[in-house]
Amino acid sequence: MSWGPDTIGLRGGWERTPEQEHSEAIFPTSSFSFRSAAEAAARFSGEEAGNIYSRFTNPTVRAFENRLAAMEGGERAIGMASGMAAILAMCMGLLRAGDHVICSLGVFGTTASLFANHLSRFGVTTDFVSPTDVDAWAAAVRPETRLLFLETPSNPLTEVADIRALADIAHANNALLAVDNCFCTPALQRPLEWGADLVTHSATKYLDGQGRCVGGAVVGDAETLDKAIFPFLRTAGPSMSPFNAWVFLKGLETLNLRMRAHSEQAAALAAWLQDHPAVDRVHYSGLPDHRQHALAARQQTAFGGIVSFEVPGGREAAWQVIDATRMLSITANLGDVRSTITHPASTTHGRLSPEQRDAMAIREGLVRISVGLEDLGDIQADLDRGLGGLRPAR
């Protein structure tokens, strides 16, 4: 398709039905009827393409899949019930007992738990390595390594992984690289263009963008998705509902616009926090002194909407900042047009041991903000109420 990214977000992957509707229709139907027994047989055998049953074929879900695939520059996408269902379906489609996975440290906590506590029971082992230490990835490869999995930028410390370098390691070793593109979305980063084989999404976050529905997706080449991942969806049924798919379609229409606005707001807030006397350290890949700033500038078109910062005084001080807010939503969710604030050490990363948190540099004084689109001055005032009561960091 020769359309630009904004046009694809608005019009990609969809054709009107004969009703000539101007906005995508929702098809809330569990099954589809056939004109004849022969047509039913041809659909079931795969001889003829078409709808069968909404566990694995639904036109609204397909419209979402086609648009997201076009935005990521992938051949095909498969919508799933949640971001975790997408990661699970990818693993179930690609891996078997005896296989080995390398996963970046600092992935979403539930993802780490899926690999460490659940897939491990089925004979899939996982090693966790730093997203920024390319040599550590190469050193962790074994003959049975099948999958490299990472998030970039990472949550909540915004470390940036070199997708091209890790894709090269995967491909030199007959493995695949999958990137969870939750933080950037295709609006800011298209991992397939940097050599990744697959992209996963929690559509719950920025793709929806207004905190309404839970969903997910896997994006990649048609062969891998049709042959390895679709059969798992069809058989096991972690399916996206048509209503949710429609909400995500609406979200995709404004994704490019929102991600530019989130990035602009976050950059301004990060600079303000960096100058604040009560703040020790700010994590945002858009800051020139961020360790992977140059890589982020090359790999992404903007730096995204997640900023985290550290205050001296540990948990007590961090909670004080959070509890002093009156506008920001205290919630672990992210990617919403409304700003959210959270204390990773006691929420998203609370089930890890203190040693694990230490290894990941998730300190007690760390606060994460998913910067929304309220007036910047209102966000600053809300944070300043708590920060103003803290002792200066320097």
Applying CB under 6 A, the residues found at the interface with ligand PLP are: 82-84, 108, 111, 151, 155, 180, 182, 202, 204-205, 214, 216
CA–CA distance, 273 with 280 (Å, rounded to integer):
9
Please say which residue, 207 or 270, places its beta carbon nearer to ligand PLP. Answer: 207
146-to-197, 227, 228, 371 alpha-carbon distances in Å? 12, 16, 14, 36
Please say which residue, 69 or 84, places its beta carbon nearer to ligand PLP. Answer: 84
CB of 182 to ligand PLP, least distance (A): 4
Please say which residue, 237 or 314, places its beta carbon nearer to ligand PLP. Answer: 237
CB of 206 to ligand PLP, least distance (A): 9
Please say which residue, 244 or 265, places its beta carbon nearer to ligand PLP. Answer: 244
Give 227's DSSP letter. I
Please say which residue, 78 or 279, places its beta carbon nearer to ligand PLP. Answer: 78
Where residue 158 falls (left for φ over 0; alpha for ψ -120 to 50; beta otherwise) is left
Where residue 102 falls (left for φ over 0; alpha for ψ -120 to 50; beta otherwise) is beta
Please say which residue, 299 or 386, places its beta carbon nearer to ligand PLP. Answer: 299
265-to-44, 225, 314, 373 alpha-carbon distances in Å? 50, 36, 26, 7
Q: Give the start-end residues of each E strand in 22-120.
A: 76-80, 100-104
Nearest residue to ligand PLP by CB is: 83
CB of 355 to ligand PLP, least distance (A): 23
CB 379 within 8 A of CB 339: yes
357-to-105, 127, 164, 323, 348 alpha-carbon distances in Å? 10, 16, 28, 23, 11
Which residue type occupies 338? R
CB 195 within 8 A of CB 161: no
Unique residue bearing structure tokens 């930028």: 153
Please say which residue, 341 or 390, places its beta carbon nearer to ligand PLP. Answer: 341
CB of 208 to ligand PLP, least distance (A): 9
CA–CA distance, 76 with 118 (Å, rounded to integer):
27
Please say which residue, 203 or 311, places its beta carbon nearer to ligand PLP. Answer: 203
Six-digit token string for 302: 């903007």
